[in-house]
Amino acid sequence: MKILKKLLFVLVVIIMIPQITTASEIDKIDNIINPNRGQNDSVSKKIMQNFKTNLSFAVKQAMDEDNAILKITVLDKKSKPIPKVEIIVTDLQTGKSRENQTDEKGEAQFYKLAPSEHSVKVVSAPSGYFFDEQKVLLENNTDNSKTLIAKTREDKDKKYKITYRITDKYAVALKEIDVRLQSDTKEYLSKTDMFGYAYFEVEDPGKYQVYVDKMSEYFEKHDNFKINDIEINPNSEESIYSSQINAQIKKEFESALIINVKKADKPQEKVLVSLKDRRTDMYAFQYTNKEGKAVFDNLFPGNYVLTVNNEDRLTENGVGGVILKEGQVREFDVVLSQSDLSKKSLVVEKKEHVDEKLPESGNKDERMMILFSVGIIVLAYLFLNKHKDTN
């Protein structure tokens, strides 16, 4: 109540000061204070001067004074107050500390604190109760509050398992991502594995913010950003969460693979070609175009398994993988045997591809379609002219 009165007084004064601007208004106030102005004009002026000086000092003092109040309430898990809990509140800027004890209502109040961040630490409590040190940011001329929930021995030893998976917008797992869980009092760090999973064990249930601290070296710079808010259920020992993020791979790390499918030296159109990424177990599919080409670009560096017409192909080094390095473009000829059922077709790597522009894959030849359309138009024009000459 005292604080409210003081603030009200300051507000009234601030409002009134601009009004006391003219000499006539000052004279009115001066006449009230000193009706015998003509006899002692110098005294009245001195009174007014002192009034203004004292008023300015009072306003400045009220605005500069450390006047934050912190009310701490200590409860058990059933929301019952816990008395006789010794609490120390420390200003993290100056190191100054205050100590107080909770009453029968489980409350302890601290007055005239600086408007800054403070730590709240329980130094003594009834047997069987445990508390984590916490932080609170105080505002001046405000009743700030903080509630502490006690832990029992069972709660203190309990851990909550959190599994967090991060994928890109295509649901492909992102590995080597530094992930951070952040609460008001604690933070936990982990790194995603090759399947995109990050694992945590936290001590406290409640609300957490999820951040990506650092991306893999393969991605454009996009570090230290928030991706989610989660809440850990105290009744659940293990929780699973996930997020999809738009991760842009660096241009210098993008790889590509070109497959040419032939049979008896003739390009084979509409042949299904697939790649399996051994890192993620994800598949990519293409049909060869009229030139017998299937092009896979924007690939991560890694190990891929090539399949043509649902058959694993033999490479020069045996069945299985095609390894792509950072920024590498590789081109292979797949020579089909006379029987499509044979699994003995040979895959031969061509000279390393150096063209900046990759060929297009698909089953439509746009150039032929354009020429065909132009031909139809020309024939129609000739037919109409011939019909006109006949008439």
Q: CA–CA separation, 35 vs 26, rounded Å?
A: 13
Q: CA–CA separation, 93 vs 91, rounded Å?
A: 5
Considering the domain architecture, whether residues 59 and 121 belong to the same structural domain is answered as: no
pLDDT confidence of residue 364: 44
Considering the domain architecture, whether residues 262 and 296 belong to the same structural domain is answered as: yes
Q: CA–CA separation, 282 vs 286, rounded Å?
A: 14
Q: Tell me the mean pLDDT in the region 229-241.
A: 84
Q: Tell me the mean pLDDT in the region 260-275.
A: 85
pLDDT confidence of residue 153: 72
Q: What backbone phi and psi angles, to 5 degrees, belong to 348?
A: -120, 130
Considering the domain architecture, whether residues 166 and 148 belong to the same structural domain is answered as: no
What are the tens digits of pLDDT across the range 298-345?
Answer: 787 788 888 887 555 544 444 457 888 877 888 888 877 655 444 444
What are the tens digits of pLDDT across the range 47-70?
Answer: 566 655 655 545 544 555 788 999
pLDDT confidence of residue 83: 94
Considering the domain architecture, whether residues 301 and 273 belong to the same structural domain is answered as: yes
**Residue 8 covered by a domain:** yes
Last residue of a domain, which of 104, 126, 155? Answer: 155
pLDDT confidence of residue 342: 44
Considering the domain architecture, whether residues 93 and 183 belong to the same structural domain is answered as: no
End-to-end CA distance of the chain: 108
**Residue 237 covered by a domain:** yes
Considering the domain architecture, whether residues 212 and 235 belong to the same structural domain is answered as: yes
Considering the domain architecture, whether residues 137 and 209 belong to the same structural domain is answered as: no
**Residue 228 covered by a domain:** yes
Round the average pLDDT of the chain to a whole number and report it: 75
What are the tens digits of pLDDT across the range 195-228?
Answer: 889 999 998 888 899 999 888 776 776 778 899 9
Considering the domain architecture, whether residues 116 and 167 belong to the same structural domain is answered as: no
Q: Which residues make beta-bridge pairs with 324? A: 302
Residue 101 has pLDDT above 80, yes or no: yes
Residue 113 has pLDDT above 60, yes or no: yes
Considering the domain architecture, whether residues 125 and 195 belong to the same structural domain is answered as: no
Which range of 30-39, 45-54, 122-131, 244-253 scores highest in mean pLDDT? It is 122-131
Instruction: Report CA Rg, the chain.
Output: 39
**Listed range (13-22, 67-76, 82-91, 284-293) with the worst mean pLDDT:** 13-22
Residue 189 has pLDDT above 80, yes or no: yes
Considering the domain architecture, whether residues 24 and 75 belong to the same structural domain is answered as: no
**Residue 85 covered by a domain:** yes
Q: What is the SS3 assignment for the chain?
A: CHHHHHHHHHHHHHHHHHHCCCHHHHHHHHHHHCCCCCCCHHHHHHHHHHHHHHHHHHHHHHHHCCCEEEEEEEECCCCCECCCCEEEEEECCCCCEEEEECCCCCEEEEEEECCCEEEEEEEECCCCCECCCEEEECCCCCEEEEEEECECHHHHHCCEEEEEEEECCCCCECCCCEEEEECCCCEEEEECCCCCEEEEEECCCEEEEEEEEECCCCECCCCCEEEEEEEECCCCCEEEEEEECCCCECHHHCEEEEEEEEECCEECCCCEEEEEECCCCEEEEEECCCCCEEEEEEECCEEEEEEECCEECEECCEECEEEECCCCEEEEEEEECCCCCCCCCEEEECCCCCCCCCCCCCCCCHHHHHHHHHHHHHHHHHHHHHHHHHC
Last residue of a domain, which of 184, 212, 244? Answer: 244
The total number of structural domains that make up the chain: 4
Last residue of a domain, which of 215, 244, 273? Answer: 244
Q: Tell me the mean pLDDT in the region 371-391.
A: 63
CATH value at residue 310: 2.60.40.10
**Residue 368 covered by a domain:** no
pLDDT confidence of residue 321: 72
Domain that holds residue 60: 2-36+45-64
Structure tokens at 255: 């790889």
